[in-house]
A and B are shown apart, each in its own frame.
Chain A
Amino acid sequence: MDLGLCGWRPIKISVLRSMTIEPLHLYLDWHCLRQKMLMQWTISGYGPALQYVLETKNELLESQPDVIVLAWRLQDVSPRLWFDFLSLSTAEVEQEIERIRLEFLQILKSLRGRTQVPILVNLFDRPNHLALGLVDVGHSQGQFRAILQINQMIIDTSVLYSSVFVLDFPAVVAKVGRQNFYDSRMGYVAQSPYTAVGWEALAQTYVRWFRSLFGANKKCLVLDCDNTLWGGIVAEDGIEGICIGGTWPGNAFTDFQRALKTMAHRGMILALNSKNEREIVLQVLQNHAEMVLREGDFAAMRINWQDKATNLREIAAELNIGMESMVFVDDNPAERDWVRRSLPEVAILDLPTDPSGYCDTLYEMWELDTLTFSEEDRQRNQMYRANANREALRQQMPSLDEFYRSLEMRVFCERMRPEIIQRVAQLTQRTNQFNLTTRRYTEAELEEWSNRKDAVIYTLRVIDRYGDNGVVGVGMAHLEEDRWVIENFLLSCRVIGRTIEDALLAWLVQVGKQLGAKAVLGKYLSTAKNNLVSGFYAKHGFKLQSRLDNGEEEWLIISTDYDFICPEWLEFWADGERITFTPARVA
C-alpha cells in the first residue's frame, strides 16, 4: 500500500541527545499519527553531540533523516556552569560559553557538510534554583544572565546556517509549569528527567515543528465580521453599537484584530466573507475609530447574501490560491459546518463561544505556523549566512582525534575495591549494549571471583572535561592453565565510542601476561542487544577459535602478538600508577 497516496507522510527523525529521551518516542509517535505522519527515529548514544557528528560512520546520517533534532541540556553540555557556577571566575564563565559556542558551530558545520535537512535545536532551560538565589536574576554575575547569554549565542549561531531552527524549550517548561515538567525521581533513578506531562508537552512542540516543516501551511485567513471581528451585529446595533475597543467585551475583539494583523505581518493574506450590506461594513472599516484592521488590510472582500462556500470559491479564484491554503474563521457553528461539508479542503478555525478565547485559538492553530515571514527576512538571513561562512572558514573542523583530545579524558583502571562492589554488580545486571557476554553477577559472586588468586576484576573510572563519569567499565578475567580467559567485558553506554574500551582491554591483556598467560581468550555471546560489540575481538586482532553449542564464540590471540596500546589521548592510570607506555612489541 502506498501510504503517500492516502495522505500519510513518513518522516525520519535523527536525534542527537544528551540525556535519556526514549520515553519521548511514545508521545511523538502519537502526535505524529494525529498529523498523519508516520514517524521513524534514530537516536544517538549518550554523550557529547559533537562526538557523534564527527564519527565518519554515522548511523544518524546514514538513515537519511528528514530532520535532525539536537536535544541537549546545559547540565550535560557544561556541568560546571550548571552545578558549579559560583566556583567559576567571570573569565572562566566567558571561556566556557565560548567553548560551547565553538562546539555548537562545529556541530552545525559538520552536519551541514553532509546534509541539508532541517536541524532543530533547543534553547537551554535554567536550573530550578539559581546559583545566587533571589538576587541571581538581577545580578551582573548571575547564573541567569550567563544562561541568557548562552541562549542568545545559540540563536546567533543558528542563523549562520540555513534551515537551522531554534525551539523554545523554556517556553515548553513554562507552559505546563516547572513543577509539573520535571521529575527528579526519574531523573535520579533513570536519567529520565521529565514527567509524563512534560514528555507530552515536549512531543507536542516537536510535532508542531515537524508539521510546519513538512506539512502544507495555510496562506489566507477568510474572516466573518459580526461577532468575529467585533461584538454584536452591525446591521442591528449600528456602527456605534458594536463592541470593539474599550472594556469587555470590546477589548477581546481589539486583541483578536491585533492578532490577525500580526498574522498579516507574518505574510498571511486576510479576506472578508460576511453576510451583510456591503456599505455598512465598509463604513465600519473606514470610519470606526477603534478598528485595528482597515479596508486596506483585506486582499479580497465578499460582503453579500450569498452562501459562504460560494464566496470562498470566488475569493480563492480572485487571489489565485488553492482552496487547501484557506482558513475560514467564523463564530457561527452553522456557517462553519456548511463550509466544512461543502469545501472539505478548507481548514476551519473553531472559535470558542467566548471571545476571550479567540486570540489563543488563533495562535494555537498549527497550520498557521510559518517558517519565514517576509522576503526581507529571507534576505537578512542570507546576509547573516555570508558572514557565517567566513567565520566557519576560520574555524577549522576538528578531527575525531582532536575531539578525543579535547575531552581531556583520564582513565583509572583498578582492581575492584569492596566499596564499589554494588555498583559493579549493577553494571553487570544493567548493561546490555556494550557487554561481550552479558553474564549477570550478584555481589556475592563478584566477591568470590575477586578473592581468587587466578582471577581479576578490573573496574574503569573515567573523568573528563564534563566531570566524573564514575565507574563505567568492568573487565573480568581468569587463568585457565596458560590461557587468560576474559569472561566478561562491559562498558556503560555513557562512554561508548571514546576508545576507552581499547585501554581497558589492553590493560587486562597486560595483567594476564604478567600472570604468565601465553594466550588470551576472549568470549563473546550474542544477544538481542549487543550486536554493537560482535566485531570487538576481531578488531583487536583476535582470531575466532570455536563456536560453542550455546552460540558462545571464543576468540584467541597469542599474548605476544598483542601490544599494550593505549590511545594517546587517554591519560591512563592503573592501580594508582600513571602508565605511559610507548607501543612496542613485547619480546
Chain B
Amino acid sequence: MSAEAGQRLALLLSELFLLPVEQVTDDLSKDTVEMWDSLNHLELVLALETEFDVTLSTDEILEMVNYPIIKAILREHGITV
C-alpha cells in the first residue's frame, strides 16, 4: 500500500512538472524545477487533495516547497509515502 501511494505521488509530480519520474527525488524543490511556479503550485495543491483525499491547511500549502516536505505533510495526514 505504501509503495503504491509513494508511486502515485511521484507520478503526480512528474506529470505536473513535466519531468521523467526518475527525476522525482528528494532534490526536487520549487527552486530547482522550472515548471514549479506559483500557478503550478496551485495545481499541485488541488492535485494532492484530489489524489489523496486530504485537506491541506494554509500553512501546509505555503510550506510544501520541496519533495521531502510534501511527503512529510502527507504522512501527517496518514498517507504512507
> Chain A: residues with CB nearer than 8 A to chain B?
20, 22-23, 26, 185-186, 188-190, 192, 196, 199, 430, 432, 528-529
Which of chain A's residues have a CB closer than 8 A to the CB of B45?
186
Contact with A along B41-81 (1 / 0, CB 8 A): 11101100110000011100110000000000000000000
**B46, A196: Cβ atoms under 8 Å?**
yes
Q: Name which of A22, A189, A192, A430 has the most chain B CB atoms within 10 A of its CB.
A: A189
Segment of B5-13, B17-25, B31-39 engaged in the interface with chain A? B31-39
Within the complex, the shortest CB–CB distance from B31 to chain A, in Å, comes to 9
**B42, A192: Cβ atoms under 8 Å?**
yes
**B58, A185: Cβ atoms under 8 Å?**
yes
Add 19 more A-B contacts to A185-B56, A185-B57, A189-B61 (CB < 8 A). Answer: A23-B39, A23-B42, A23-B43, A26-B43, A185-B58, A186-B42, A186-B45, A188-B58, A189-B58, A190-B41, A190-B61, A192-B42, A196-B46, A196-B49, A196-B50, A199-B46, A432-B37, A432-B38, A529-B37
Instruction: Give bound CA distance, A298 to B68, whole Å.
Output: 67
**A23, B37: Cβ atoms under 8 Å?**
no
**A186, B61: Cβ atoms under 8 Å?**
yes
Within the complex, the shortest CB–CB distance from A112 to chain B, in Å, comes to 31
Q: Assuming the A-B contacts A185-B58, A188-B58, A189-B58, are A20 and B42 also in contact, with contact meaning beta carbons closer than 8 angstroms in the complex?
A: yes
Which of chain B's residues have a CB closer than 8 A to the CB of A26?
43
Instruction: Give bound CA distance, A430 to B38, whole Å.
Output: 8
Which of chain B's residues have a CB closer than 8 A to the CB of A196?
46, 49-50
Instruction: Give bound CA distance, A190 to B56, whole Å.
Output: 14
Chain A residue with minimal CB distance to B55? A185
Within the complex, the shortest CB–CB distance from B77 to chain A, in Å, comes to 15
Instruction: Give bound CA distance, A192 to B39, whole Å.
Output: 9
Instruction: Give bound CA distance, A482 to B28, whole Å.
Output: 43
Chain B residue with minimal CB distance to A190? B42
Which of chain B's residues have a CB closer than 8 A to the CB of A528?
34
- 27 A-B contacts (beta carbon < 8 Å): A20-B42, A22-B39, A22-B42, A23-B42, A23-B43, A23-B46, A26-B43, A185-B56, A185-B57, A185-B58, A186-B42, A186-B61, A188-B58, A189-B58, A189-B61, A189-B62, A190-B42, A190-B61, A192-B42, A196-B46, A196-B49, A196-B50, A199-B46, A430-B38, A432-B37, A432-B38, A529-B37
Which of chain B's residues have a CB closer than 8 A to the CB of A430?
38
Which of chain A's residues have a CB closer than 8 A to the CB of B42?
20, 22-23, 186, 190, 192
Q: Assuming the A-B contacts A20-B42, A23-B46, A192-B42, are A185 and B37 also in contact, with contact meaning beta carbons closer than 8 angstroms in the complex?
A: no
Within the complex, the shortest CB–CB distance from A181 to chain B, in Å, comes to 14
Which of chain A's residues have a CB closer than 8 A to the CB of B49?
196
Within the complex, the shortest CB–CB distance from A23 to chain B, in Å, comes to 5
Which of chain B's residues have a CB closer than 8 A to the CB of A20?
39, 42
Q: Which 8 A-B pairs have CB atoms at the shortest separation, nearest pair first?
A: A22-B39, A196-B46, A185-B58, A189-B58, A189-B61, A192-B42, A190-B42, A196-B50
**A185, B43: Cβ atoms under 8 Å?**
no
Chain A residue with minimal CB distance to B60? A185
Which of chain A's residues have a CB closer than 8 A to the CB of B57?
185
Within the complex, the shortest CB–CB distance from A525 to chain B, in Å, comes to 16
Q: Name which of A20, A23, A185, A529 has the most chain B CB atoms within 10 A of its CB.
A: A185
**B61, A185: Cβ atoms under 8 Å?**
yes
Within the complex, the shortest CB–CB distance from B40 to chain A, in Å, comes to 9
Chain B residue with minimal CB distance to A529? B37
Instruction: Give bound CA distance, A196 to B38, whole Å.
Output: 17
Chain A residue with minimal CB distance to B62? A189
Instruction: Give bound CA distance, A528 to B38, whole Å.
Output: 14
Within the complex, the shortest CB–CB distance from A432 to chain B, in Å, comes to 7
Instruction: Give bound CA distance, A192 to B45, whole Å.
Output: 11
Which of chain B's residues have a CB closer than 8 A to the CB of A432?
37-38
Instruction: Give bound CA distance, A189 to B34, whole Å.
Output: 21
Chain A residue with minimal CB distance to B30? A429
Which of chain A's residues have a CB closer than 8 A to the CB of B39?
20, 22-23
Within the complex, the shortest CB–CB distance from B5 to chain A, in Å, comes to 19
Which of chain B's residues have a CB closer than 8 A to the CB of A192?
42
Within the complex, the shortest CB–CB distance from B13 to chain A, in Å, comes to 16
Instruction: Give bound CA distance, A190 to B43, whole Å.
Output: 11
Which of chain A's residues have a CB closer than 8 A to the CB of B50?
196
Instruction: Give bound CA distance, A20 to B43, whole Å.
Output: 12
**A190, B34: Cβ atoms under 8 Å?**
no
Instruction: Give bound CA distance, A20 to B38, whole Å.
Output: 11
Which of chain B's residues have a CB closer than 8 A to the CB of A190?
38, 41-42, 61
Within the complex, the shortest CB–CB distance from B64 to chain A, in Å, comes to 11
Within the complex, the shortest CB–CB distance from B46 to chain A, in Å, comes to 5
Chain A residue with minimal CB distance to B34? A528
Within the complex, the shortest CB–CB distance from A71 to chain B, in Å, comes to 16
